[in-house]
Amino acid sequence: MQSWLPIAPDSDFSIHNLPFGIFSDERPARAGVAIGDWVLDLAAAYALDLFPHYPEAGGVFRKPVLNDLMTLGREFSDYVRKTVQHALCEPGSVLQQYAGHLLIPLRDVQMHMPMKVGNYTDFYSSEEHAFGVGQLFRPENPLFPNWKHLPVAYHGRASSIVVSGTPVRRPWGQVGQKDGNPAFIPTNALDYELELAFVIGKDSVFGRPVPVGEAEDYIFGVVLFNDWSARDIQRWEYQPLGPFTSKNFASGISPWIVTWDALQLFRVPAPAQSPAPIPYLAANPRTNFDLSLSVSIKPEHGEESVVCQTNARHLYWTAAQQIAHHTITGCNLQTGDLLATGTISSRELTGKGCLLEATVNGQQRIQLANGAERRFLEDHDVVCMRGFGQKENVRVGFGELRGKILPAISA
């Protein structure tokens, strides 16, 4: 596809992508599509009859969240993407004629949470991550006996999920000490977790499990996800019920939802599973996506340094298996729910998706530019996550997920 709109070859928001988000300028928040360095104002485009086959589209495009848009189904989002693609390739199209009105520079807009998140579940789907963390604390038995039989997860806090660019305050909490008693202090082990999150695009029926073969039908798209973590608080509180305040203070998402359809070109086989899972989790074929992922850290007075490069193709538990397990009890999914992968790591030292692994639980330092070092995150550090798929000349990316660490509130 050749567009009349100039789009850089390395742009995450190519004509093959066209992700959905919520933006505002001097006018209220509304739906848009990212194209290169611009945002297409979908409400304004609808008013010029760019989407004639969906008369109800005007209302959903003007909403400050994408939930109602997603309920129209992937058929609708695919229709919007194909209509825009056609208009970008057709000289003299309505989009080209009114480009100055419909296309707004990305630098001039404010991005918002793309959807209202009702529920958020964080999985633990990377074997490399689970094994690496297990080795730190249980070197003789890194993986718990259940790990290869089901997608382990915990239910996180939806209210504190924030969009890229939102600062994160260093949290206070209870931290265990050598004498067995806790101290109440700001965390000294603040960490990021590099993840993807699947955005649920339609409701499932309460009481009815979603079969693994139908699970992907419930996914609207994917975002980058940062599960901010306070490791010292986590170590004290997680037994016996799992993480709580060490995770609930903030989680970040990228502002643009890359649609499920836009990612299909990057499907790859998932790793073989041994032992074979119980039949309700046995998908055939099992696939992941070949998506390059990275993390960088920028100190307050320093340069940005890439500290992790990994790939989503190696996830042991797939999105379909996560959904099948999540709903096997009859637990229902709702539009806007987020199901995150858990930290995505690779075996290489440069592929560790969190500082807990990269620094061996703070025992070693990672090197940043100009001699700076980190065991865990310091105040005013900016963490940036990026991700994209590339196949020949086709690139589909997520943009950036940024967050800056603010000092703890004074006691």
Helix (H) / strand (E) element for 127: namely: helix 127-137
In DSSP notation, 16-30 reads: TT--EEEEESSS--E
d(CA 315, CA 341): 8
Neighbouring residues of 89: CB distance < 8 A, sequence distance ≥ 6: 1, 2, 3, 4, 15
325 is catalytic: no
Active-site residue (options: 86, 101, 112, 129): 129
Indicate the SS3 state at residue 315: coil
CB contact at 8 A, 11 and 34: no
Q: Which residues contact 273 (CB under 8 A, 6 or more apart)?
A: 148, 286, 316
Report CA dihedral (208, 211, 216, 222) to the nearest 10 degrees.
60
Cβ atoms of 309 and 292 within 8 Å: the answer is yes
Continuous H helices in 9-102: 42-47, 57-61, 67-71, 74-89, 94-97, 99-102
Q: 219-252 burial by CB neighbour count: b if 16+ within 10 A, else e? A: bbbbbbbbbbbbbbbbbbbeeeeebebbbbbbbb
Q: Is 180 left (phi over 0), alpha (psi -120 to 50) or beta?
A: left
Whole-number Å distance between alpha carbons of 81 and 155: 33
**Active site amino acids:** 129
